[in-house]
Structure 1
Amino acid sequence: MRFVLDEDQRDFAAALQSLLAGADTVRAARAWADGDHGPGLELWKRLADLGVLSLATEATPVEVAVAFEALGRHAVPGPWIESAAYLPVALGRTLEGVATVALPPHVPHALDADVADEVYVGSTPVTEVGEQLTSVDRTRRLFRVTGDGAGEPHPEAFDLAVLATAAELLGAGERVLADAVTYVKQRKQFGREIGSYQAVKHALADVRIALDFARPLVQGAALGEVDVSAAKVACGDAAYLASRTGLQVHGAIGYTQEFDLSLWLNRIRALVTAWGTPAFHRGRLLASLVGPDATEAG
């Protein structure tokens, strides 16, 4: 499998990177976590103007993967997976505002339901938005919601949301690795940069390898040649390894809420189980490989 972006896709990726690099996404994420949606909604509008909300209905999964890797790399807040991946396919239309969805058991609570213009349970509008719950990622503000919608998720929409989650994990993992490499070149201990120690080099190399193995699975899933569950598991494992290693090389400061690294560490922890746990996706992948008859026979 050879994966190469075409000219339009490269232009879109460059425009998205330029927008996000010039925006203060960390400030927007921190404000969002504190309940101040202003900076995040301003960024939301700029991304919507670039066409991110219409990718699921007007582009291909490749563009979706490109977009969500960038969103993960820059820790952009808001229910983007719900608004730009799942709901447009499930509802059959491009959304114009902020939307969110609960889809038990894989998405038991609605993300950012207090700020969303549209809130759903499955494909049915909710009847009530309830209490806010605590999340490991403060930028992911979860709410209990009540509605009549239930049943199985829309299969194509669910797979696109899983792909978007995998790509976001990949982007977050890449950002943590990049920041960790920068830090170990600056931090000195016993008169040497800590990046000069073999143990640190090997740990960071392991992360690089894990991310490099995960990326082709995202690309393959975007092309329909790889099961999205394989991409989700690989990206979750690679990003989690990046978060553990990044935290280790940064030492105690990595734990602090004031340090920007925490935004990505907590986002990764939350996304690893979002839109299906690793156990769910491993089981789903196994079933797709051996078939239900073989599973029952075993």
Structure 2
Amino acid sequence: MRFLLDDEQQVFARSLDGMLAAAGTPAVVRAWAAGDTAPGRALWSRLAEAGVFALAVPEQHDGLGPLPVELGVAFTEMGRHAVPGPLVETVAVAAFLDRLGDDAVAAAWLPAIASGKTAASLCLLCESSPYALDAHAADAVFVVEGDAVRLAAAAGPVQPSADPARRLARPLGGTVLARGPEVAVAAAHAADVAALVTAAQTLGLGRTLLARTVEHARQRIQFGVAIGSFQSVKHRLADTLIALEFARPLVHAAAVALAAHDPASGREIAAAKVTACEAACAAARTALQIHGALGYTEEFDLSLWIRKARALRSAWGTPAACRARVLAP
């Protein structure tokens, strides 16, 4: 089976790519990492106008979806440009509220998410994941603990992260919105959606890392020739390309499975997540080594993609957890 985007999806991808290329995202990422969210929220509004967040919201709440395949397309492009903010988490909140079955709560939040007026974060509270992403910048932080979901009242101090633009904090206090077994079911669905779009995001990151490294290898001269002509460099770049190309159909297949409500979609998503993240991390290592000392400097824009690839590797499913899910009987 071949997983190819149709013409409309390809046009959507190109339009997002053009918009984000013109937005100067490296400056936006650096501002977000420094605590200035204004440029990021301005870009957020432009993404909302393009319909990105509406793809996660059902039509009865002013959305266009849920459309997992189109979400994968959007997040691949946002990954290519390293867009900061709780993008994945906002989509996960939309999936959670849609599946929760509480019409009043859904009506209160989903239209605002679709329009881009609300940026949300989701924390599935457990010992290994006590933090919410960008809780300081989100308009709402939903915290799931056991069979209850609450709206956090505040956020603790920002914690250090491998990616400075991924600002983590503990959600504090709050009001319980719903309680019951349906909360855990909705949370599991939201985690699957989050893992899928994270896989798409890391796939986009990997593509940019490879493209910039190929460009550098063509321009960097050693011993009178471009380093891209060296056999060892060619092999390393080829291995990186193969890994990313292998991950791409897995991400598309997982999106198709989720859209079709396939009972095996969770396993498909786990396979896509671990494959895409490992490919992106391999692309980051290749970029770091071929760029040499340049790759280690914070001032060089490449570092923004390298750090994000490393951080996303464990977000919404560690490699070990994803492999265990794939291999489970």
TM-score by length of 1: 0.92
How far off its partner does 1:147 sit?
4.2
Cα distance in structure 1, aligned partners of 2:14 and 2:290? 31
Aligned to 1:112: 134
User: Amino acid of the residue matched to residue 252 of structure 1?
Assistant: A
SS in 1 for 2:122: strand
| Cα distance, 1:14–1:28 mapped onto 2, change above 3 Å | same
2:137 and 2:242 map into 1 onto residues whose CA distance is: 39
Corresponding residue number in structure 1 for 2:246:
213
Q: TM-score, normalised by structure 2?
A: 0.84
Return the offset for 1:236: 1.0
Whether 1:274 and 2:315 are equivalent positions in the alignment is yes
Following superposition, the deviation at residue 104 of structure 1 comes to 2.8
Secondary structure of 1:120's aligned partner: strand
Determine the structure 2 residue equivalent to 1:99.
Answer: 120
What corresponds to 2:283 in structure 1? 242
Question: What SS does the aligned partner of 2:158 have?
Answer: strand
Deviates more, 1:188-197 or 1:120-129: 120-129
Unaligned runs of at least 5 residues, structure 1: 292-298
CA distance in structure 2 between the aligned counterparts of 1:129 and 1:223, rounded to whole angstroms: 36
- 1:56 and 2:56 are equivalent in the alignment: yes
Q: Which residue of 1 aligns with 2:210?
A: 177
**2 CA distance for matches of 1:14 and 1:211?**
19
Distance between the aligned counterparts of 1:80 and 1:147, measured in 2? 23
Equivalent residue in structure 2 for 1:202, among 214, 226, 235: 235
What are the within-5 Å matches in structure 2 for residues 12-51 of structure 1?
Answer: 12-51=12-51
User: Using the alignment, how far apart are the partners of 1:198 and 1:8 within structure 2?
Assistant: 39
- Equivalent residue of 1:154, what SS? helix
Correspondence 1:253 to 2:294: yes
| Structure 1 position 145, deviation (Å) | 1.2
**Aligned counterpart, 1:232:** 273
> What are the Cα deviations for residues 197-228 of structure 1, in whole angstroms up to 9, with x where unaligned?
00000000000000010001001001007610
Matched to 2:277, the amino acid is G
User: How far apart, CA to CA, are the structure 2 residues paired with 1:73 and 1:155?
Assistant: 27
- The answer for the alignment partner of 1:294 in structure 2 is none
Residue 69 of structure 1 is matched in structure 2 by: 76
For residue 256 of structure 2, what is the amino acid of its counterpart?
Answer: L
Letter in 2 for 1:73: R
Q: 2:153 aligns with which of 118, 127, 136?
A: 127
- Over the aligned positions, Cα root-mean-square deviation in angstroms equals 1.6
CA distance in 2, matches of 1:114, 1:155: 25
- Separation of aligned partners in 2, 1:40 and 1:169: 19
Identity %: 49
In the other structure, the counterpart of 1:7 is: 7
Q: Displacement of 1:13 after TM fit?
A: 1.5
Cα distance in 2 between the residues matched to 1:10 and 1:107? 36
What's 1:141 paired with?
Answer: 167
Counterpart in the other structure of 2:60? none
| CA–CA separation in structure 2 for the residues paired with 1:130 and 1:121 | 14
Residue type at the aligned position of 1:66: V
Unmatched tracts of structure 2, length 5 or more: 58-63, 99-105
Find the residue that maps to 1:102 and give its secondary structure: strand
What is the rounded CA distance, in whole Å, between the counterparts of 1:89 and 1:211 in structure 2?
27
Contact preservation (8 Å) 2:124, 2:187: no
Mapped partners of 1:147, 1:236: distance in 2: 33
1:86 partnered with 2:92: yes
CA–CA separation in structure 2 for the residues paired with 1:4 and 1:217: 11
Shift of 1:107: 4.2
Picking from 210, 217, 220, the partner of 1:187 is 220
Q: Count the aligned residue pairs.
A: 287
